[in-house]
A and B are shown apart, each in its own frame.
Chain A
Amino acid sequence: MAVQTIASATGIDLGPAAALSCRECGHRVPLGPVFACEECFGPLEVAYDLPAGSPQELKDKIAAGPQSIWRYAPLLPVPADVAAKPNLNPGFTRLIQADRLAADLGVDAGNLYVKDDSGNPTHSFKDRVVAIALEAARAFGFTTLSCSSTGNLAGAVGAAAARAGLRSCVFIPYDLEQGKVIMAAVYGGDVVGIEGTYDDVNRFCSELIGDPIGEGWGFTNVNLRPYYAEGSKTLAYEICEQLGWQLPDNLIIPVASGSQLTKIDKGLKELIKLGLVEDKPYKIFGAQAEGCSPVSSAYKDGHDVVRPVRPDTIAKSLAIGNPADGPYVLDITRRTGGAVEDVNDEQVVDAIKQLARTEGVFAETAGGVTFGVLKKLVEDGRISPSETTVAINTGDGLKTLDAVAPTTGPTATIRPNLDSFREAGLA
């Protein structure tokens, strides 16, 4: 096939990845560290030669694979022996049947699930995408792994680079939560705070890539972005496999750039095409924080373009005012009959506490946004209690303690005797 010829001509082994294809105009280029279409600036994404064989054979192969995203290696832009290379082996996180949260929200028992990605090695879903970007960085011979980050990605890049023996240098807004800054720095790479918002950091990184200083640098979410973004497909694969190879009726996904939501939809469509799940309608809902809700605003206003905003929210990992994949989020949520909704900071904190109180899952603020939006959608009837719903917690609450600290703490401090305990009203 012509596509295979393009891939093999480059000598790059990224498994079933055949070429890069522009999502806007379809222009194809060989696999390489490029992210924007030279014809129209549209985002490039990986095109595949997906595996042949029966659905059952593929399911058996996946089931026999490692307990990580690498069980899906035949569907990812990675070499076949990826699991044997030094990486963080992320993924295959818990899918929790959330009956107590369901009861709190008024959803039927057995119908609500939490996909808890705080269980990844650096406690966010970013380990998935970075693991894929790392393989691309190795394939292209990069020696420095880098990124622009709202925090979680910086930690994931630092850890992955440390494990792989690469240098790392990550760029973050200067005012991130302390937990995320320390987590990014502890792995020994360089962490650079930029005086500005995430969008300013992104702009800086884009300019760095075009400069000789950036020679040999693999920016996971810039020049390696076509590969990196594919990592989010593994959330779709895992959710369906953990549901017994079934599509859920509804998915609630946080939206910052919109990449994760877009790629989960791509993953679901691949599973349908391969016959791994039965084709049936599903709805995808996007969740944003009110203080940074350009996609939600565009959805509600009926627009198909997203007007950038300046972010002001406690959900800093979602604080991207100029979301690159925003138009695709609008397309997908409208196509599937879902929606994009937003919640304010108070609702975010309430949702974090509700999830912790009912299911023992401590979500970061992005998770609070997702579960706050879930509550809203159930309350106004857009999610039916009798349908299967999966909401994604993308990161660990320990990274955003500031959000809950003002309203969460010890019930009492007492002297070490029983009288004191009784006096506190706790006996």
Chain B
Amino acid sequence: MSVNVRIPTILRTYTGGQAEVTAEGGTLADVLADLEKNHTGIGARVLDDQGKLRRFVNVYVNDDDVRFASGLETPTPDGAGVSIIPAVAGGC
């Protein structure tokens, strides 16, 4: 299954400057593994030493924050959009 992944500015050094790339995989974990295969180094930026999502990274599959879904096991249907976004703040 092929999905479109939006790459944040700070990770574009790994994608040759591309803001969006395609990746294969039926779950977010698979998609991230495929990203790492084609863009070596990107995986360690998104996942920590234990293989979990870093705490200051937000990942969305289509419009859903994967923390509200199944985390790395969230299904990524064919044609889905995956966004990787650094956590930001507002309010107090």
Contact = CB atoms under 8 A, between A and B. Distances in A.
Interface stretch (B21-29, B31-39, B54-62, B72-80): B54-62
Contact of B92 (A36, A41, A222, A366): A366
A222 B19 contact: no
Contact of A40 (B13, B56, B60, B92): B56
Given A35-B88, A41-B57, 8 more contacts: A40-B54, A147-B90, A150-B90, A210-B6, A256-B91, A259-B92, A318-B92, A394-B92
18 contacts: A35-B88, A41-B45, A41-B57, A147-B90, A150-B91, A199-B65, A202-B88, A209-B9, A210-B8, A225-B88, A254-B92, A255-B92, A257-B91, A259-B91, A305-B55, A308-B67, A320-B91, A324-B87
A307 interface: yes
Given A207-B6, A210-B9, A211-B19, A320 B90 contact: yes
B16 to A, nearest CB: 15
Contacts of A317: 91-92
Interface of B: 6-10, 13, 19, 45-46, 54-58, 60, 63, 65, 67-68, 83, 85-92
B55 A206 contact: no
A224 B91 CA distance: 15
What secondary structure prevails in chain A residues at the interface with B? loop
A372 interface: no
B90 A253 contact: no
B90 A221 contact: yes
A125 B92 contact: yes
Chain A interface residue bracket vs B: 35 or more
A323 interface: yes
A211 B20 CA distance: 11
A310 to B, nearest CB: 8
A34 B67 contact: no
Contact of B54 (A41, A210, A221, A260): A41
**Most B CB within 10 A of own CB, among A43, A206, A211:** A206
B55 A320 contact: no
**Most A CB within 10 A of own CB, among B7, B65, B90:** B90
Interface string A40-76: 1111000000000000000000000000000000000
A320 B10 contact: no
Nearest to A392: B92
Contacts of B90: 147-150, 153, 198, 202, 221, 256-257, 320
**Most A CB within 10 A of own CB, among B10, B19, B54, B92:** B92
Contacts of A325: 89
B83 to A, nearest CB: 7
Given A42-B56, A206-B8, A222 B67 contact: no
Contacts of B13: 38
